[in-house]
Amino acid sequence: MKKIVMSVALLGAALTATAGGYLTNTNQSVAFLRNPAQDAAINLNGVYSNPAGVSFMKQGFHVGLNWQAAFQTREVTSKFAPFAFGANNTSDTKLFKATASAPIIPSVQAAWVKDRWAFQFNFALVGGGGKAEFEQGMGSFESQVALLGLVGQRMAAIMPALGFNKYKVDAYMHGKQYYFGTTLGTSYRINDNFSVYGGLRGVYATAHYYGYLKNIQINPGSGNNFVSAPAFFAQAAKSLQPAVAANPALAPRLRQLGVLAAATQDVTLNTDQSGFGFAPIVGAHFHSKYIDLAAKYEFRTRIAFENESANSASANNLTSLAAYKDDAQVRSDIPALLTVGAQVRPVEGLRLNLGYHHYFDKQAKSGLKGAYRNDLLKGGTIEYLFGAEYDLTKQWEISAGVQRTLYPNTDAYMNDLTFTANSTSLGLGVGYQVNDMVKINAGYFKTFYDTYHKDSQNYNNAANIIGVAEGAERAKQLVESGVVKGSDDFTRTNQVFGLGVELTF
């Protein structure tokens, strides 16, 4: 029997982006929080969202300093009959919830606009950007421990002295991930209407994951006294050896006990990851009195993580945790991104914005070679954006926008470690022009996620796991009877607050 603990790609998913695709943060400044449709706007946020348009900014040196605070939750409502075997469970349905926070997300944008040239700099968290903590583990963990209940029932029917019907387990997971990006580039205004841009982004990615499943216990005799599962199975195997010598027909029982003793050992994962990557960026902008049109293409950022691990021996023996072994190389590419946008100014002081984003997720490798998770996706993420800004006075402006994000999720891709769901985000905020040199921005961004429902006839490969101990025929019976079917409902919450200042010299 495979290890029933952590036999999924533990902690494989990093913290997802605050806004954007699977591994892309598009909220690079407070201007984005105020109005996410920035793809054709001419402002300092253009250093990220519309770098070609920066050439049409006021001559001089511009610098923006931004602070954001993001708070997320991830919620998975899992239904699986063996959950009812848990010592503290009352039903087959459990809610697994994690919180993720990034109270300090800094970014810096700078541009020197001189004649037809604009020299630009951007530093921000381009991916990840926080930490997440699952204090009670996850369904993919516990569902496999819960299989002990089925095993205990089976053993009670065959050898009553070895039967049990409840389990206990201590589970925990903590992860953090940051992708720091620095971009240098230059735009050139060809004439009064056209400009182009070329730049290069360097990304340093770092991550740390710590988690465990330990102290697995069962209740021999189906009573209220719980004992260590590995110790119980090891002792039972030892006690059964004389009987096997006299009756070889009991050999499968002896083998099963040995497998269970090994499978219920504590497992601890403790892995640091780091990697570098580079991506060229190109853009173009058309400017006129009433309309602006812009496009930008970010090439794929190839990132290969290298691990430094201090895992338990039991973790290193799990093929499902191969991506977290010491010195393993794991791909975690940031996908290429195409953005196009338009800004229309129908009357003085009013700016209407449209945007479209396409992430090339299918081509961005993720995971170990030969088992890339990006191959499980249907295509690329798509976003539609709309926003508006209005100048109330010479000092005050207000703005708001909406972003609809559609992910190419599939059942094969979605699990409680790496999931997100289609969403609608709303941003709003204000800008205050203190004087010719200083502008202050404040914004709030809220994301409303859909719920993704996934059904499975063989929940987290439960039948396969039991089949290792009890045989393929038993595994087939479990699937046909519906005992190991289950479902997950995935959703999230997310909100971001931001405050920034723009200086012009």
How many other C-beta atoms can be found within 10 angstroms of the C-beta atom of residue 409? Answer: 20
Tokens at residue 2, please? Answer: 């495979």
Going residue by residue through the chain, which has 505 residues, state the pLDDT in tens, using 9 for 90 and above.
Answer: 444 444 333 333 334 445 667 778 888 999 999 999 999 999 999 999 999 999 999 999 999 999 999 998 889 999 999 999 998 887 899 998 888 888 888 999 999 999 999 999 999 999 875 677 777 777 887 888 898 988 888 888 878 888 899 999 998 888 888 899 999 999 999 999 999 999 999 999 998 888 888 899 999 988 889 999 999 999 999 988 888 888 888 888 888 888 889 889 888 888 888 999 999 999 999 999 999 999 999 999 999 988 888 787 776 666 667 677 777 788 999 999 999 999 999 999 999 999 999 999 999 998 888 889 899 999 999 999 999 999 999 999 999 999 999 999 999 999 887 788 999 999 999 999 999 999 999 999 999 999 999 999 999 888 887 777 677 888 888 888 888 999 999 999 999 999 999 999 9
How many other C-beta atoms can be found within 10 angstroms of the C-beta atom of residue 245? Answer: 11
Distances (CA, A) of 224 to 63, 220, 390, 450: 66, 9, 67, 41
Per residue, the 3-state secondary structure of 412-451, as one string, reads CCCCCCCCCCCEEEEEEEEEEECCCCEEEEEEEEEEEECC
Does 25 reside within a domain?
no
Distances (CA, A) of 211 to 21, 146, 276: 26, 18, 25
Residue 376's nearest CA partner among 1, 9, 6, 39 is 9
What's the rounded Cα separation, in Å, for the pair 262 and 216? 12
Domain assignment of residue 79, given as a range? 30-504
What is the reported pLDDT for 288? 96
Does 491 reside within a domain?
yes
Does 303 reside within a domain?
yes
Residue 71's nearest CA partner among 129, 134, 138 is 129
What's the rounded Cα separation, in Å, for the pair 27 and 431? 17
Cα dihedral: 75, 80, 83, 89 (round 10): 60
Does 3 reside within a domain?
no
What's the rounded Cα separation, in Å, for the pair 445 and 257? 54
Give the gyration radius of the chain's Cα atoms.
Answer: 27
Q: What is the CATH number of the domain that holds 420?
A: 2.40.160.60
Does 228 reside within a domain?
yes
What's the rounded Cα separation, in Å, for the pair 120 and 198? 10
Q: How many CA atoms lie within 13 A of 129 on its CB side?
A: 29
Q: How is residue 10 annotated by DSSP? A: T
Number of independent structural domains in the chain: 1
Amino acid at 494: N
Does 13 reside within a domain?
no
Answering whether pTM is above 0.85, one says yes
In degrees, rounded to 5, the angle at the alpha carbon of residue 298 between the alpha carbons of residues 296 and 300 is 160
Does 6 reside within a domain?
no
What is the reported pLDDT for 316? 67
What's the rounded Cα separation, in Å, for the pair 401 and 505? 29
State how beta strands 366-367 and 438-449 pair.
Answer: unpaired
Tokens at residue 330, please? Answer: 């794991």
Does 5 reside within a domain?
no
What's the rounded Cα separation, in Å, for the pair 398 and 279? 34
